[in-house]
Amino acid sequence: MTTNRLTRATAGVPGPVAVVDLDAFDANAADLLRRAAGTPVRLAAKSVRVRSLVARGLDAGFRGIMAFTLAEALWLVEQGLRDVLVGYPTVDRDALARLAADPRARREITLMIDDAAHVALLRAVLADAADAADGPDVTVCLDVDASLRLGRIHLGTRRSPLRTPEQVAHLAAHAERAGLHVRGIMTYEAQVAGIPDTAVNRVVKAFSVPDVDRRRHAVLDALRTVLGRDVELVNAGGTGSLETSAAGPGVTEVTAGSGLFVPGTFDGFRSFVPRPAAYFGLDVVRTPAPDWATAFGGGYAASGPAGTSRLPRLVTPGWELTRREAAGEVQTPMHRRRGGRPLAVGDRVWFRHAKAGELMERFAVVHLVRGDDVVDVVPTYRGEGHTFG
């Protein structure tokens, strides 16, 4: 049983403790690449937030990185990593000024834009950078809305204002006139990649895949006309949609990251076999009543709509969180179900985070486990002194 093995491996480590099961991590990496069927897979670093594990994914065959912020991208390039796509627009003038002044960063980093305001900001920063002209052009990618709209119903994330081919082509032409190089587009179909495979959601996905394929094709045609060339980067998808995204017309790469850890939000997916790799362990410090135990720490709720789906998953068999207190900042009470083994002060209980890389914001180091042993202890982003958002 995984929890028993993790307890044995970390017996000498005080909790709270974060661990990654390398056997599961490596198997997940191989499975993500297999599901992409030869289409390059870009690694979403925010879903990992451990630099050594990002490097491990690249060594396994991932190509390129999707960063959370420009500051993160600059730091990763400083560490020797290459081809970093910033997944979200930025208005961080200090980071943009650093990019403008660094030829290597400009060569390796692609910024995300979806508004003329982003172009104006980039022009202003480049104009203020005395040595900006000495480096390569600043490269940008256009985020194209890939949500599904059925009349007034909007299914998907609220991201980019760019939706029609005309809107995308207009901004691309504007960006190139401003001295930027338009490298490509991103179409993230969150209503396919990020929701479980319930009966209703499967219907949504069945409508969404051909819709985004059709609109992506039209966008690429419009860009070819206005730019006089094909764009080299067409990014799509996420862990939950690798097969359909990789097969989409014109797609040159897909992105995945959460699938390396397989957090709790992926438990309802049928498109792949979940192999949870990231856990955190808490120590029991109280047994306030029969069939009750209290662990220290644990209040690591995930981002998104507040509710039980964003709470950690208690995976120690026979125990459950309470509705009244759930996972608390300094203590987490748990109730024993019928058949569960009693817990004593000093015992360790195990959880999975609802999201992926967010767990690593809570820890300075993560213990890498193989079998019954901790084989390495490595810093998280936070442990290296960085929190990027």
pLDDT for 121 equals: 96
Confirm whether 250 is domain-assigned.
Answer: yes
Confirm whether 1 is domain-assigned.
Answer: no
Residues 62 and 134 placed together within one structural domain of the fold: yes
In CATH, what number is assigned to the domain containing residue 311?
A: 2.40.37.20
pLDDT for 389 equals: 79
- What percent of the chain is predicted at pLDDT more than 90? 75
Residues 252 and 346 placed together within one structural domain of the fold: no
Residues 292 and 253 placed together within one structural domain of the fold: no
Residues 291 and 178 placed together within one structural domain of the fold: no
Type of residue numbered 105: A
> Please, which residues bridge with residue 150 across strands?
153
pLDDT for 196 equals: 65
Which of 127, 66, 71, 60 has its CA nearest to residue 94? 71
Q: Identify the segments of the chain with pLDDT beneath 50.
A: none
User: Helices 93-100 and 70-78 meet at what angle, rounded to 10?
Assistant: 40
> Please, which residues bridge with residue 282 across strands?
349
Confirm whether 9 is domain-assigned.
Answer: no
Helix (H) or strand (E) holding 203, with range, is helix 199-227
> Please, which residues bridge with residue 320 across strands?
335
pLDDT for 192 equals: 67
Residues 160 and 253 placed together within one structural domain of the fold: yes
pLDDT for 274 equals: 83
The domain tally of the chain equals 2
Residues 220 and 343 placed together within one structural domain of the fold: no
pLDDT for 129 equals: 78
Domain, as residue range, for 283:
278-383
Q: Note the pLDDT tens digit of each residue in 146-156.
A: 877 766 776 66
Residues 115 and 202 placed together within one structural domain of the fold: yes
